Structure 1
Amino acid sequence: PRLWPPIYWFGTDNVGEPLLVDIVNGAPFVLEVSLLTALYTTVLGLLVGIVAGFSGGYVDAALSFISQVLMTIPSLLLVMIMATMIHTNNPLILSGILSITGWTGLALSVRSQILSMRELPYIEVSRVLGLSGGYILFKEITPKIMPYVWINFILNMEGAVYASVGLYFLGLLPFQNYNWGALISEALGYGAYYGGRALPILIVPVVFVTLYMVALIELAYGIDEVINPRLRK
């Protein structure tokens, strides 16, 4: 590969296009899917957990039962089947597929935290003072669980990246020549196991996926330190 301009420093793909250009073109899709999947999963899990924990009774029992049933379904197999059936590159639809069962763990965790918090003395005092249920929920209870929700949001972004790249690597979604997962699959198809010109096509996407994961982990640590008073210096 040519050494100048700098876009050729990472090598070229099988048709001679700079790998850096492929990575840059594929990055928006990865960012959209990871962000939307985390958003769907977190919002749905938070809503279900809040309604179940704060309502109690039959509503709590029904929502908890649905969450537990969905949690027992093999999520990877379900996502692979749905991705193959729908076969789309639309980030909105693909994110919905990836988050189809991912919200259940957050919902049950939020429910359990609300169940334990609503019996605390200061919540009882708020009820005695005549404060509304909405005020108690959104001003007294929800802010206490937001650190956990934010960390869960970042973890869902990480899982979405792995899932989306994996689906393209397996060929279960429409081919995109600049998609990071498609690049990895293409590299292995051209014999990257044995080195040669196909090796950079394998290494470069893997490095950028790793860098994105590291960035998300550092972001999670930063958010935890900002919103958790015990970690502030």
Structure 2
Amino acid sequence: MENVKSFFRVLYNNKQAFAGMIILTLFLVMAIFGPLIVPLDLGTDFLHRYQWPSFRHPFGTDYVGNDLFQQIVHGSRSVLFIGLLASLFTVALGFALGALAGFAGGIADKIISMLIQILISIPIFPVQLIIAVVFPVQNVIMLAIVLAVLSWAWLARNVRAAILSLKQREFVLVCRIMGLPKIHIIFKEILPNVTSYLASTFVLNTNSAIAASVGLMLLGMAPYDATHWSIMLSNASTQANSGMNTAGIFNMMVPTAAFILLQMSLIFFANGLDEALNPRLRTTNKVRKVKKEGQV
């Protein structure tokens, strides 16, 4: 209980991270419960198209009269689900390969390190696009795999470096002398020491995965979802011509603002998450703050 209080206390003191957590929580609540509460009607209603925000239509209506608020609420579920699932795959793959390279060493380390160097040196999104063309994406699971398969390199590199340092520590050496299995050492002894880093990386990777999924959807390389925010953007550009048609300006502004707000909340929250989960980092930052105040 004290750890939970300490976690939220650190986030509250970091105003940027706290604001990010509040906004992200609102998006998560909207994605989970919103579609159950807000009905979705995608029928055409040309008499009420291009409506400006009002009590009946909080975000206005699009080029066929559909309520933009309803689409944002229902689309939030697929946007967040794709991002979170892809990030989960990325973190799991990055940690597994980084731990294998750092702990096992030898040929495994050389092969994984070579793959890391290759993936770090190439542009990820064009390759993801090629993979989506060669292996057509049929569902959300496949899309998450396409987004994750090339995004694990930086995480694996940092996990490998952390494990190379940690495995020389006394508690790991004692475990090895006792003959404990490597799986136990990695998941019971080493993993808790990198949990804070993995958590902040998970949040940031969610942000990157959402951005990449938008690109693939706009290019037609991902499963069609009528309420996904990227489809709303595409329709605003092609169908409503919102760039030139001032009547349809909210068609473009609403999904764009939703994307910006979501990605800002993820970045802000990630910036304070590592400190909130890492007591040693909290102590270091507190010492720096005291020194800075003393100098002032």
Partner Cα separation in structure 1 for residue 242 and residue 160 of structure 2:
47
Q: In the alignment, which residue of structure 1 is the partner of 2:169?
A: 120
Aligned counterpart, 2:115? 66
Secondary structure in 1 matching 2:151: coil
Alpha-carbon distance, 1:150 to partner? 1.0
> Aligned pair 1:194/2:247, yes or no?
no
CA distance in 1, matches of 2:179, 2:135: 51
Counterpart Cα distance in 2 of 1:57 and 1:174: 41
Write the distance in 2 (CA, Å) between the matches of 1:87 and 1:126: 46
2:85 paired residue among 36, 50, 53: 36
Number of residue-to-residue matches in the alignment: 232
**Secondary structure in 2 aligned to 1:17?**
coil
| C-alpha RMSD of matched pairs (Å) | 2.3
In the other structure, the counterpart of 1:228 is 278
Corresponding residue of 2:137: 88
AA aligned to 2:233 is I
Aligned to 2:31: none
Could you tell me how far 1:85 is from its partner in structure 2? Answer: 3.9
**Alignment correspondent of 1:209:** 259
Query: TM-score normalised to the size of structure 2?
Result: 0.71
The correspondence for 1:45, drawn from 94, 116, 125, is 94
Which deviates the most, 200-209 or 104-113?
Answer: 104-113
Instruction: Give the whole-Å Cα distance in 2 for the aligned partners of 1:181 and 1:5.
Output: 25
Looking at structure 2, the residues matched to 170 and 29 of structure 1 have their Cα atoms a distance apart, in angstroms, of 17
Distance 1:66 1:223, change over 3 A: same
Identical columns (%): 35
Q: Are the structure 2 counterparts of residues 118 and 10 from structure 1 closer, same or farther at C-alpha, using a change threshold of 3 Å?
A: same
> How far apart are 1:21 and its partner, in Å?
1.2
Identify the residue that residue 160 of structure 1 maps to in structure 2.
Answer: 209
Partner Cα separation in structure 2 for residue 105 and residue 127 of structure 1: 28
Aligned to 1:177: 226
- Which of these residues, 23, 26, 29, is aligned with residue 72 of structure 2? 23
Distance 1:206 1:96 in 2: 25
Aligned pair 1:144/2:193, yes or no? yes
Distance 2:52 2:124 in 1: 44
- Check the 8 A contact 1:167/1:181 in 2, yes or no: no
Q: Which amino acid aligns with 1:219?
A: F
Q: TM-score, normalised by structure 1?
A: 0.88
Report the more deviating stretch, 101-110 or 223-232.
223-232
Give unmatched runs, 5+ long, in structure 2: 1-50, 287-296
**In structure 2, distance between residues paired with 1:194 and 1:224:** 44
